[in-house]
Amino acid sequence: MEQTNNRTDEIPCFTLEHLIAMHGASPEHELSRGCLVAISNSQRRIFRYPCRIDALFIGVCTEGETEITFNLNTFRLTRNSLFVYTPKNIIQANSDDEFKAHMIAITPEFMRHINVDIKRMMPLFLRYANQPCIELAEEESQMLRGFIEQVGHELERPKTLFGDDVVSGLVSATIYKVCDILYRHQSAQPVHEAPIRSRSEFYFKEFMRLLGENYKSERSVSFYAQKLCITPKYLTTLIKRVSGKSVSDWIDDYVILEAKTLLKSSNMSIQEIAYYLNFPNQSFFGCYFKRHAGLSPSQYKLQS
């Protein structure tokens, strides 16, 4: 058991190559030079199940629609919707058959080697972290799609003396264009953090912060109530009033989302996942997962 825990100190965060290979997908443009461009619906199966990817994704919907779950928040993408996914969060998408998008994915290694001012951009990305989807005007959408298409065209060309520099410059320009769009939308419609208008909202915000930090090891209502210095009954009443969901429901949602991600996107065994999520044994974890997901862990893992 000690050996298992040592192997799973940290949830794996998968690279683009790993994720694409695991799902048997063939990207329209082969992953090259640290970035991937897909201009079709060919990649949607990759995100059918929850997964965590170590890459920056920028996408613009061109046809159809899809429902994207970013951690536990759900958003709907339609034509001309911009979506920005930052590394190491959990994403899942349920697309219709008509869904198509222009998408570029950029690895952290590539980001470190291109000419972009990450520190200057970070406040913008953090501001939109909980609202990663915005609606673009037709002109904005066409312009951004043009940037992505140009990167794709250059990736298809044979490597030349200055080819990598051309790709780096185009990717940098694409990222800056996204930041420019986000900044202009922020100026037109500022994204303010909603003021905490009541005691219930304050406790809900603090509970969600604690849950994000502790859900892998703590599933009892009393743990969170104690951290907030209130009774479990009072915490349950407050959270239900603000969100419409109970404390237990929120905890279960976080745990099941993490379990699904690990079952589909890791090489960990079911027993290792059970220990990692602080279940006493595999059997207990199996019953818990089936009760909330409707399938056993092994059935979910094998589901295509």
Tally the domains of the chain.
2
Domain end call among 169, 188, 207: 188
Report the alpha-carbon distance of residue 58 to residue 44 in Å, rounded. 14
- Does 26 reside within a domain? yes
Could you list the residue range(s) of the whole structural domain that residue 74 is in?
2-188
Judged by average pLDDT, the poorest of 184-188, 294-298, 299-303 is 184-188
CATH at 207: 1.10.10.60
Q: Please report the beta strands in 142-278, taking only residues with DSSP state E, as ranges in sequence order.
A: none
71 and 172 fall within a common domain: yes
Mean per-residue pLDDT, 174-191: 84
173 and 238 fall within a common domain: no
221 and 179 fall within a common domain: no
Listing from the earlier edge strand, what are the strands of the sheet with 100-106?
A: 35-40, 100-106, 56-63, 81-85, 133-135
Domain end call among 188, 210, 230: 188
Mean per-residue pLDDT, 10-35: 59
277 and 178 fall within a common domain: no
Residue 217: is its pLDDT beyond 60?
yes
Provide the pLDDT for residue 244.
Answer: 82
Report the candidate in 51, 16, 50, 19 with the shortest Cα–Cα distance to residue 36.
16
- Does 178 reside within a domain? yes
- Does 141 reside within a domain? yes
- Does 125 reside within a domain? yes
Domain end call among 141, 165, 188: 188
Instruction: Pick 294 or 18 by higher pLDDT.
Output: 294
Count Cβ atoms within 10 A of the Cβ of residue 83 and give its class: 0-12 exposed, 13-18 middle, 19 or more buried.
buried
66 and 172 fall within a common domain: yes
Provide the pLDDT for residue 9.
Answer: 39
Task: Give this prediction's pTM.
Answer: 0.68
- Does 194 reside within a domain? no
- Does 142 reside within a domain? yes
Instruction: Pick 150 or 117 by higher pLDDT.
Output: 150
Contacts of 242 (CB under 8 A, 6+ apart): 200, 201, 203, 204
